[in-house]
């Protein structure tokens, strides 16, 4: 993604550019509407962070939680929600803070905004590489007055590995990730044993991993990989192992496209031991 075109932040360190790792995504810049571009320009500094792999995030500070004087960041105060670059004890500091769920791949962000409005007591850290989606979600944050959403732009693996402390996150949501249907591309699928081990290490005990897909072969892989993790337990082990669709998960754009094609939607709910 060309950061300079959309003013999302400082350039990615060279080390991340040269990192040799199979990625599950292609950076997408896309075409932004005037409303999305305007929201990005006005609100990014207050609600967004750049995934740079350089420092741990203090989630309490990011979401304006912690002390008696803590408040939600105001869009007119650009530095109100910047992360604490010295947050070496982020997990411990969050013992009594607002729970924060990590959502990987939020698309245009409409489902994220709906879930945030329905559960204002839970913070959502939403990470993606899709620039118009960042602009659209920021627009929803402003129009819906959502104080519990923060955006991250960049690679979710780098965010998990280098910027989130162990046992610091209260849930993981991955809805309709790219299924990479061709056999030669299966290695690019996000839900792999190595990724799950990393992600689970950042979750607090009792946190829920919630995945959903409309691609049956990928659903089978998700079920196999999640079931094989010694740190996770299936909340719906009977029958197929898939979970009923939770009422609180909105229908996403990609989900509707799958439904229109006659695909079966599968939800998976696992809990961190």
Where in the sequence numbering do the catalytic residues fall? 178
User: What is the residue-wise DSSP string for the chain?
Assistant: --HHHHT-SSPPPHHHHH-----S---B--PPPHHHHHHHHHHHHHHEEE--SSS---HHHHTT-SSTT--PPPTT-TTTT---TT-TTHHHHTTTS--EEEEE--TTSHHHHHHHHH-TTSEEEEEESBHHHHHHHHHHHHHTT-SSEEEEES-HHHIIIIIS-TT-EEEEEEES-----SGGGGGG-S--HHHHHHHHHTEEEEEEEEEEES-HHHHHHHHHHHHH-TTEEES--STTSPBPPPTTSPPPHHHHHHHHTTPPPEEEEEEE-
C-alpha closest to that of 199 among 232, 172, 178, 175: 172
Q: Tokens at residue 233, please?
A: 């337990």
């Amino acid at each position: 993604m060309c950061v300079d075109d959309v003013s999302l932040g400082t350039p990615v360190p060279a080390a991340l550019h040269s990192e040799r790792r199979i990625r599950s995504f292609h950076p997408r810049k896309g075409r932004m509407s005037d409303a999305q571009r305007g929201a990005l320009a006005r609100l990014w500094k207050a609600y967004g962070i750049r995934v740079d792999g350089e420092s741990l995030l203090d989630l309490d500070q990011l979401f304006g939680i912690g002390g008696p004087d803590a408040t939600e960041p105001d869009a007119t105060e650009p530095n109100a929600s910047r992360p604490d670059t010295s947050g070496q004890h982020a997990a411990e500091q969050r013992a009594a803070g607002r729970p924060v769920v990590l959502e990987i791949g939020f698309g245009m962000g409409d489902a994220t905004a709906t879930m945030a409005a329905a559960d204002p007591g839970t913070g959502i850290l939403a990470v993606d590489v899709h620039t118009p989606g960042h602009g659209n979600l920021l627009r929803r944050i402003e129009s819906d007055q959502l104080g519990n959403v923060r955006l991250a732009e960049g690679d979710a693996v780098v965010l998990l590995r280098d910027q989130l402390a162990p046992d610091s996150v209260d849930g993981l949501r991955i809805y309709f990730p790219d299924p990479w249907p061709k056999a030669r591309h299966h290695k690019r699928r996000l839900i792999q044993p190595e990724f799950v081990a990393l992600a689970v290490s950042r979750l607090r005990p009792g946190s829920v991993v919630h995945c959903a897909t409309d691609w049956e072969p990928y659903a089978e892989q998700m079920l196999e990989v999640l079931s094989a993790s010694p740190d996770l337990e299936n909340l719906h082990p009977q029958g197929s192992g898939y979970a009923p669709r939770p009422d609180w998960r909105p229908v996403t754009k990609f989900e509707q496209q799958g439904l229109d094609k006659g695909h079966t939607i599968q939800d998976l709910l696992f809990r961190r031991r």
